[in-house]
Amino acid sequence: MALLKSGWLWRQSSVLKRWKLNWCDLWLDGSFMFYKSENRRDFETRVSLKTSCVNVKSGLECAGVCPPETHPSENLLVVCLKNGFTLTLCANSEDEALAWKLTLLEARRNTVFTYNPSDDTYQTVPIDSHNAVYAMPGTGCGGIQHVWVHRDTYNEGIGEQIALGLLTGMAAGAAMRSLLWMPFWFC
């Protein structure tokens, strides 16, 4: 996958609202990756812009956000996500913030194609290409078929299971409450 932009950005933590410096990679498939260092060994988080990004604001559009010390508010970037969360970032200059904004918007809307030279066709890459199966035919007659399954396990959260459990518990509680009053109805 092609790298659209990479560089250092300040990222504000969601709980304590502290600023920390991260190396960021923006890939063509819409993956926005955050690392602790430039060597990309200490992975922190990934945001899929194609599936979760609603809007990107920069500069003075980011009202109510305090930038890190020694940085003006013109360097701010706010990525609004579908789940109501916001990703607050700060670049080193106003021009760099605008460049990141335009690149983020481009990565959010572009469709990714791959070229298959064996049958001269283009295929679209799935939105969540981190959970994809890649097959590569072997060379020659009766070659070996190689299959790679690349799967991101950090994205398999238990949020849906918790929500379903809460809903089931509420339904069971409502049913039990009505059954507890049943003896008084027949008196």
Residue 94 is assigned to a structural domain of this protein:
yes
Q: How far is CA 49 from CA 15, 52, 74, 87, 110, in A?
A: 21, 5, 23, 11, 10
Return all residues near 62 (Cβ < 8 A) that are at least 6 apart.
Answer: 73, 76, 77, 78, 88
Which residue range forms the structural domain that includes residue 104? Answer: 3-109
User: Is 39 inside a domain boundary?
Assistant: yes
Answer yes or no: is 89 within a domain. yes
pLDDT at 129: 53
Is position 179 within any domain?
A: no
**pLDDT range class, residue 139, cuts 50, 70, 90:** very low
Task: Indicate whether 81 belongs to any domain.
Answer: yes
Compute the Cα dihedral for 46, 27, 81, 129 and give only its sign.
negative
pLDDT of residue 121: 72
- Residue 125 in domain: no
| 180 lies in some domain | no
**Is the per-residue pLDDT at 165 higher than 70?**
yes
Query: Phi and psi (nearest 5°) for 8?
Result: -85, 135
Q: How many domains does the chain have?
A: 1
Q: For the chain, what percent of residues have pLDDT higher than 70?
A: 71
Lowest mean pLDDT across 5-9, 162-166, 181-185:
181-185
CB atoms within 10 A of CB 34: 19
57, part of any domain: yes
CATH number at 15 reads 2.30.29.30
The pTM of the whole model exceeds 0.85:
no
